[in-house]
């Protein structure tokens, strides 16, 4: 479930399959990783073991490569610590779908190649079950989350700016700039 599939049509279709991991509203950066853990190590492979430990001490151990976080309103609020994005990526999570995101978390995610998808539906976390098969479908800037093994439930998402997709593909802002020397 970790492979991204591409198919040709009018616009290129990218499908990112995963398993839904549900979180609620106002998941702040200290929930994502306690700021005290930054003293333990700077190694992402060590830090990933602390992912969301204050909410669920067993969460990090249960994460599978390719899981997709599905959250409510204001994901990533709190302090602007970049390690809150680093730990999500280190755990093998490449996509977070939420009702809304804190601006500083959004910026850190873009800079580091973590894809954040906004699904502006009030009951997002009621439309998906924990552990359920999901797939993010990207066609150009158009995005939708398909839910269930049959993918019949479709959650429309906000369009993803082209530059965000390019930065993610490159692995983040620094790798993109190394390659292109500009954001054009």
Cα distance between the two ends of the chain? 33
Domain boundaries in the chain? 5-159
Specify the CATH architecture of the domain 5-159. Answer: Alpha-Beta Barrel (3.20)
- pTM, entire model: 0.90
Q: How is 74-118 classified by DSSP, letter by letter?
A: SBTBS---THHHHHHHHTT--EEEES-B-HHHHHHHHHHT-EEEE
Model confidence over 72-95: pLDDT tens digits? 999 999 999 899 999 999 999 999
Strand 68-71 to 95-98 pairing: parallel
What is the percent of the chain with per-residue pLDDT over 70, rounded to a whole number?
Answer: 93
pLDDT computed for residue 11 by the predictor: 67
Residue whose structure tokens are 């779908």: 97
Model confidence over 29-59: pLDDT tens digits? 999 999 888 788 889 999 999 999 999 999 9
pLDDT band at 175 (very low <50, low <70, confident <90, very high): very high
């Amino acid at each position: 479930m970790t492979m991204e599939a591409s198919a040709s049509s009018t616009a290129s279709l990218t499908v990112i399959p995963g398993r839904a991991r549900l979180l609620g509203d106002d998941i702040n950066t200290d929930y994502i990783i306690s700021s005290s853990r930054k003293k333990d190590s700077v190694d992402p492979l060590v830090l990933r073991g602390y992912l969301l430990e204050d909410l669920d001490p067993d969460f990090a151990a249960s994460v599978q490569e390719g899981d997709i976080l599905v959250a409510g309103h204001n994901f990533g609020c709190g302090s602007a610590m970049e390690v809150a994005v680093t730990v999500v990526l280190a755990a093998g999570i490449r996509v977070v779908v939420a009702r809304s995101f804190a601006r500083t978390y959004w910026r850190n995610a873009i800079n580091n190649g973590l894809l954040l998808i906004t699904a502006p539906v009030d009951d997002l976390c009621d439309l998906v079950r924990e552990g359920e098969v999901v797939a993010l479908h990207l066609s150009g800037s158009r995005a939708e989350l398909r839910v269930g093994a049959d993918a019949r439930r479709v959650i429309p998402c906000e369009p993803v700016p082209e530059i965000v997709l390019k930065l993610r593909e490159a692995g983040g802002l620094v790798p993109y700039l190394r390659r292109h020397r500009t954001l054009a």
